[in-house]
Structure 1
């Protein structure tokens, strides 16, 4: 069993994760949920490979992934083919709780919004890693990225715990090793090509949610 785990780790490359996000976007600039979820599965694996530091984010993302999979596998799965079709279907059928009555606490729109916010944090953090030097502190980069994204939606206790956890982050080189792409220069080049893909997925989702006034689903 141990050999299997090692072999699986050796096969992992974050480049494959970003390639999956590239497949998210259709010619009509819609975002396919199957590929979005697959990309997030890879990101969860990446976060888990760094130890317990990102446990709370990875665990929450994994639970949200499962909810989206359940929708895709459900009787109305075709309505959840893209984020655009999901938003249209759920809003037209009053399946989104906009009033904190908790009528639909696990709607697809609400669930994906949580992944969307976390994706923004990762995008910001990875961009800082890309443009940093080995002497820069990953704890500072991560905290700054968190404060600009997820922290805006987290209560004080989670923000406090997150800040303490980030202080234990490994050095930049360790992150690059876990990505399993190659030399630091190769990682930097790969991130330079890949992050705009993630940014496009994020922005398409952001614009869609903004258009329908659902960026603040409780």
Structure 2
């Protein structure tokens, strides 16, 4: 019994350590409840979003899933509300999407849920920066929308955008990048708690989840559906593993072993079979892809894909 207890304790310590290092962000948790939730962030950003309107296939056609903390309909609502203008992403619905993705991971069990704690800390950092900017008159107004959404191309031309008013500093991905670069808070050589560096860590994790959900939506190969554990491990190895050291990669394997079987995911999103799951997850993956691609473009244009 003594050996078994020691082994269990070692695994628990390993997983806790994994949670703290998952996004290479250290133990920088911010648990103030006022920083959590879309409602609190909405008071910073009252701009209504005209993009992502729901059609017949939008989240309005989905019903809530009784008894579930994670709601795929809410995830779709936030993801579809995030794209704005021609190439930007609104931060409030983006962070709210992460709130729902955190609930998704926590539903997969305590071992996988440990990973979500570090993600929560990252969303809290950006929300705290937004609140601080709101209270700082010099930082509250961001650039003109035309400045942050007009991208100079190789031909020297610029894309037109739909808005021209000033916005809050942390209203969107591009406004945050513009403000932080101009305030000199982004360090390209040393680790900081800038919103841009924090966003990059979330961005990398979003690719992992996108790929996992994409694989989970796949149809059977030779009549066989691969296990979610196998799919999640595969998605991790081609994404986040590239940014983790050996120890974290090995610890991640332990977390994926505890992944529930496929039937659990049917219940989680209120579907009956793999065909329905594939349709549902395909919509989610498409919405994530739009948000991911826009964020990737903004980070790449500003040389931020490798912030330390």
What is aligned with 2:103?
45
Does the residue aligned with 2:104 lie in a helix, a strand or coil? helix
Task: Note if contact 2:208-2:236 (Cα within 8 Å) is conserved in structure 1.
Answer: yes
- Are 2:201 and 1:114 aligned? yes
> What is the rounded CA distance, in whole Å, between the counterparts of 2:66 and 2:282 in structure 1?
26
Which of the residues 268, 271, 293 maps onto 1:182? 271
Name the residue aligned to 1:4. Answer: none
Q: Return the offset for 1:11.
A: 6.1
Q: How far does residue 52 in structure 1 lie from its aligned partner after superposition?
A: 1.8
Q: Among residues 298, 301, 304, which one is paired with 1:208 in the alignment? A: 298
Return the TM-score normalized by structure 2: 0.64
The Cα shift of 1:135 comes to: 3.4
Which of 131, 155, 161 is the equivalent residue of 2:245? 155
Structure 1 residue 12: Cα displacement? 3.9
| Bigger radius of gyration | 2
The answer to whether the aligner puts 1:71 opposite 2:161 as a matched pair is no
Structure whose residues are more often helix by fraction: 1
Q: Structure 1 residues 12, 166: closer, same or farther in 2, change over 3 A?
A: closer
* CA–CA separation in structure 2 for the residues paired with 1:211 and 1:182: 40
> What is aligned with 1:10?
68
Name the structure 1 match of 2:94.
Answer: 36
Deviation for aligned residue 1:83: 0.3
Measured against aligned partners, the alpha-carbon deviations of 1:152-173 in whole angstroms (never above 9, x if no partner) come to: 1111111100012212212112
Could you tell me how far 1:182 is from its partner in structure 2? 2.4
Unpaired segments ≥5 residues, structure 1: 1-6
| Structure 2 residue 170 is the aligned partner of structure 1 residue 80 | yes
Q: CA separation in 1, counterparts of 2:261 and 2:86?
A: 40
Structure with the greater relative contact order (CA < 8 A, sep ≥ 6): 1 or 2? 1
Who is 2:59 aligned against? none
Contact 1:50-1:178 within 8 A present in 2 as well: no
Q: Any runs of at least 4 consecutive aligned residues in structure 1 with deviations exceeding 6 A, and if so which?
A: none
1: distance between equivalents of 2:176 and 2:290? 19
In the alignment, the residues of structure 2 paired with residue 176 and residue 74 of structure 1 have an alpha-carbon distance, to the nearest angstrom, of: 41
Question: Alpha carbon RMSD of aligned pairs, Å?
Answer: 1.8
1:170 aligned counterpart, secondary structure: coil
Shift in alpha-carbon separation, 1:8–1:94, aligned structure 2, 3 A: farther
Count of residues in correspondence between the two structures: 208
Q: Is the 8 A contact 1:17 1:43 kept in 2?
A: yes
